[in-house]
Structure 1
Amino acid sequence: MRARWPAVAIVEMSDDMEAFKSMVRELLAVSPETAIAGAYRPNTFAPQKWEQAAQGAIFVEGLRVGVRDFLRRPVSTADLRQLLDRSVTPPSRAAKTSGVTISFISNKGGVGKSTLAVNVATRLAQHHPGEVLLIDASLQMGVCATMLELKPTTTLLDTIRERHRLDSTLIRQLATPHACGLDLLAAPPDALSATEIDDELLTRVLNLARRTYEYVIVDTFPMFDRIVMSVTDAADLSYIVLDNVVPTVLSIVQLMSLLDDVGYPTERRRVAVNRFLRVPGNPSLDDIRHTLQHSVDHVLPFDKRAITAANLGRPFALSRSRWSGVEKGLKGIVREIEERQGQGSHAESNGRSNGIVDTQAEAEFSDE
């Protein structure tokens, strides 16, 4: 759904209306302009339930969650044609744009990945106040709130617990605002509660976030697991962060191999060398390019003031006049992200399909 934005989706109705409604909510969160039609057989529903549903109360439940039409099976050609005539978007109508999702990943801790994510989000928020959401998906060891000197009363965990009524308004209410103009969905308060969040639930939040904000920046835990895979799958660009130390470079070689194995497109990867030091024994930029077999897209030199800024909870992006090489590197990343937003997300660039998606209520979007 996210990749194709179909004009019509036909969803099979079962006798479990809660599963059906959950399915519809998830599809509309991903592609709100899609017309959802429920396909049913009268004998699908329990007889007593069907007989007691005065004036189509079952269908009313569907309409309340966003179903536009219903098709009785077997579907006639006339009914299907009428559905398409009512629902298919005319070619002249422009599709609604969505925001871009940007992830910062690494399989090595201590390279400044979170610092970079926070400062990129901060600078974007200065350019686009109110349109930047920073999500701390480092679920067990999130530090974004500390780096922004925020004490959130709600976190990413609350969006998961409120997923059945989560919409654009609620996600903004649950996010913690920062004075620079960004909103933060902080990591869960402790490692135990973080276990409530899985990759499917996080994907739901990411899909809604990109419909609510122009820019969604996601920090991740330094380990390639199902959570990070779900983030990279949703991301338009993933910045692979490392420093120029031999063990880190070799670990990134392994990460690149993993990304190849899962089919993550190379055109959506960016390599960012952070805290770069020109000292004897450390790999040069040419060494890194040769070892990774990938370009070095961004370089941010080491500057101890960036560490001081992180300790104080004041991102160095707020003091642009004082940062020379770091400022140049930050500008390059921010400019690239803004250009990506101007081009549209990877979902939009694939074009919108006017086809039909036929699916089941028991599919992976349901809580079950």
Structure 2
Amino acid sequence: MPGLSGPSDYSQEPSRHPCLHINAKEPFNAEPPRSALVSSYVTPVELFFKRNHGPIPLVDDIERYCVDISGLIETPKKLYFRDIRMLPKYNVTATLQCAGNRRTAMSITRKVKGVGWDVSAIGNAVWGGAKLADILELIGVPKLTSCTQSGGKHIEFVSVDKCEEENGGPYKASIPLSQATNPEADVLLAYEMNGEPLNRDHGYPLRVIVPGVIGARSVKWLDSINIIAEECQGFFMQKDYKMFPPSVDWGNINWNTRKPQMDFPVQSVICSLEDMQSIKPGMVRISGYAVSGGGCGIERVDVSIDGGKTWMEATRFQKTGIPYIADGISNDKWAWVLFELTVDIPQSTEIIAKAVDSAANVQPEKVQDIWNLRGILNTSWHRVHVRIGHSNM
């Protein structure tokens, strides 16, 4: 790609915040401490989780950088960065979550394959850019289109990022054309994150943001866009990020029996406490995040301080001091909800959180029931054990 290249080694990696917990150094995969996630509704860029598959691409010449749009359309086109920036700009607040978030807890039940994420492979940001629906309209694909005249039904995003899983080829993924051409789906070609240009870790100069969908579909360092008849046939669509039942293992897996995972299920996590933390007896603030895919709101978050025998409803908010209402017109529908509850904890106990979304979906109780060999979508009740001691950790 003119103006943008993928290095062959890790000698030119960007600097990162020292508080990040590194799960893999090459390629770099890291997450912040869980407490950092509830310190602000919008996650600071430096504390946003890093998920990479190879060396971070480099911009050689931003003036030469462009995106090729081709495939099953009448008029292929090259869009330069300046062209994209001239289109109407939208800011969309959206939570991105790696499908492997909370994988380490799933591994405790039975070993799984993948990066060992704790609970912080997630972040909420304000993404700025052009709507993909506007860009596709420029090349003759009307809004709310599910199939082009030439039979295109999916949009494939191809990165400059080269990865081992593709045998040195580029990372790629796709979404249905009907989603890409729907302005209400808010799919962006984003060039800003939290009001600043994207940094290298997060896709500079241009990335895709697909709200409400697992992060694997929000392709970074965009090289080209293809309109295709079938789903992308890349590794991360066909040989990864699919949800299998607990009965499937590496000896009997058949990848073709499952569709690629798109929307993520309802999820909540306690962030103000670590598991096995020592606390003083008395009033304890319990806070965390809750989010659901596909634009569903969070109807409630239930918290138990007695191991699930009884439950209390936590308060929910997106804006400090303003109660969150699941179907509120001013809500950020693609973003997480923060919750909190202050309760008296006189003795050592297990604290649990579970969320219910606006479609009445609820988190499953046991991780064993949703165990899968790739360790994705661990949305079981989140549990932390606290011990009464004389001081906080």
Same fold, TM exceeding 0.5?
no
What is the TM-score normalised by the length of structure 2? 0.23
Q: Greater strand share, 1 or 2?
A: 2
| Greater helix content | 1
- The alignment's TM-score, normalised by the length of structure 1, stands at 0.25
